[in-house]
Amino acid sequence: MGWVTLSLRKLTLRTQINDFELQDITLSRQLRTTQRHRAYDKSRLEASKKSEITEAKKAYTKAREDRPEVTSEEYAEWQANYAAAKEEYEAQKLDIDDYYDGLMEDIEEEATDEENRIQEEQTTLEAELEAVRQELEAVNEQISSDIQSSKISLK
């Protein structure tokens, strides 16, 4: 008659296994969502960075396009303006690169922390799931042996 109690325990263990598997699926989804958000945020920042660099380059490009003939009197003045525009562009580009690199590092760090938290939770959950599965296996074996020992033998 102990197999009845064991059958109830078996039902409880199956329910726990299903709950753990659902939690594992949920954690996997959270992990993929975090990875997608990181990729989206990084691509958005890359687009913004490229846009700002393009905007900063406009004055430099205009100065380069306004180049007079080498033999003209305005050439020396143009060279000074061009050098100043180039220097200004390079300084702005460096500032933009530094700013966006910092933002990228922040995004990467936050996403990595979240991924590590989720993976630790998954590892713990998988260990608990394995323990419940082993207990279920032991209960199944015990039920089987209890049923075998309570068989009525007709000889």
Specify the pLDDT at position 153: 60
Give me the pLDDT at residue 77, please: 86
Mean pLDDT of the region 78-94: 92
**Percent of all residues in the chain with a pLDDT value above 90, rounded to a whole number:** 70
CA-to-CA distance for 47 and 17, rounded, in angstroms?
Answer: 45
Q: Which of 96, 103, 95, 98 is nearest to 43 (CA)?
A: 103
Helix (H) or strand (E) holding 54, with range, is helix 2-65
Note the pTM of the prediction, 2 decimals: 0.75
**How large a percentage of the chain has pLDDT more than 70?**
95
Distance CA 61, CA 79 (A): 13
Position 73 confidence tier, pLDDT thresholds 50, 70, 90: confident
For residue 154, what pLDDT is reported? 60
pLDDT of residue 50: 96
Q: Which of 109-113, 118-122, 142-146 has the lowest mean pLDDT?
A: 142-146
Q: 72 or 33: whose pLDDT is higher?
A: 33
> In the predicted model, is pLDDT for residue 44 greater than 70?
yes
Task: Please report where in the chains the tokens 């009845």 appear, as a residue.
Answer: 4
Residue with tokens 């590092």: 105
Span 64-92, mean pLDDT? 87
CATH number of the domain located at residue range(s) 2-149 in this protein: 1.10.287
How high is the pLDDT of residue 119? 97
